[in-house]
Structure 1
């Protein structure tokens, strides 16, 4: 380590190595008059004395604590400056930053869990929200099947922001939609009618609580609701024949937008 008491002084590079401060920072502090070297070589190169090094060390300490350069200048140069007050104020800012980082870390943990698990609810909470027919293994199965897709990422992002109350609102909206579909079928609403098309649009809106649902994707869902035994049993449990009726209104709404339900794919 170079000796700062050396009559020839220390170069910028040597001071940078001594204090762990970049050469660029030393040049900047020189330019703004915060820490200027006391000596120059005949060629004009900066040389720092022991006194310069002591000042630089104080500046580096306060900079590490997060004080701005103007505040550091006052602390170092103005004997009337309340150093203790400045440090306490900085400590308060650091505390706020720590709390912000803690909250950020908790948010990252939730996002990681949501990407891995889908629903951030216990099996008991899921049963209470979605009913006894709900299988708590379904989110894991969906993760296995769709975990590398954009739709799963979108679903995870929504899930990470939801607790039991938010999921209750989603469940209530879906229950209300299913009730409206059953009532419309009982009332003789015809597929392709304005009311039926509005219900198809409402389904897309409510379902988008999970992830964005295009019309083509909705056609695929309607097909699955009718042909999958589990989904068909659920919808026909709301009203007998509802699964097939729902598929028909979705197909009719898709045709009204130029989509052939027979060739629609999940996109």
Structure 2
């Protein structure tokens, strides 16, 4: 039995607007539209929607998903098997992170002692949930260079890099009550700019650095991750990055 768009939205837990958008871009076109303009979704449409959401959950862009599911070589069973394997791997990483958090809590309470290696169990720089966004913004070459540089690091070097990154976040979190234009904030954000350019095989132009700061507040995944170090940190960093770019550009343009 065909379902109306509102019914599908309620079933899936998404919005009617999202389903309309999928239709408009040719990603999920309902099998039937009534004379009154109502979209009606068949069981085949729902199976396709399930597939789309699996890919979306794993970080694929809508453009990528469309290319995959409408490819002549697309195999639904093969795709589901791939989804399952990727989700199992994701669950394994999450379980490891939860275990690390539990041990860290006990460590801070003085109940156990954690080694440096145990403190970073579960962190994996080889899995970047924002890689697709990065590829779309800065191109494959820049991301491939970054992955290649990280891939040459030993596990200990990757852990040290992660700790250095966290130190910068913590330092900025401690001063987020200050003005983003303050000297202290600008010195810290300069360290962030240099850290990114020195360690990931990609040089951020001032424009790209400002754009990255905008993503911190426009993409809720960035916001949530950064704000773990302190509520409002993502917004503070975004403003500080914009101020840093503005002041640096003035210096460059001055005679």
**TM value normalised by structure 2:** 0.45
**TM value normalised by structure 1:** 0.43
User: Which structure's CA Rg is the greater one?
Assistant: 1
